[in-house]
Amino acid sequence: MKKFTKVDEEFICENCGAKVEKLGYTCRNHCPNCLYSKHVDINPRR
């Protein structure tokens, strides 16, 4: 069972509204403008 799915896509920060560009080589888990992050794991480790 695969536990991690790499998602490298642009998004709009839910906290500050900044447009965050995709990195092109790995995923980003926070906004580089305000450092806000959102935990989105489907199966987090316990």
The torsion region of residue 15 among left (phi > 0), alpha (psi -120 to 50) and beta comes to alpha
Mean pLDDT by runs of 10 across the 46 residues of the chain is 76 93 85 85 60
pTM of the model: 0.65
pLDDT of amino acid 42: 63
**Residue pair 24/15 in contact by the 8 Å Cβ criterion:** no
pLDDT of amino acid 39: 66
pLDDT of amino acid 33: 94
pLDDT of amino acid 40: 64
pLDDT of amino acid 5: 72
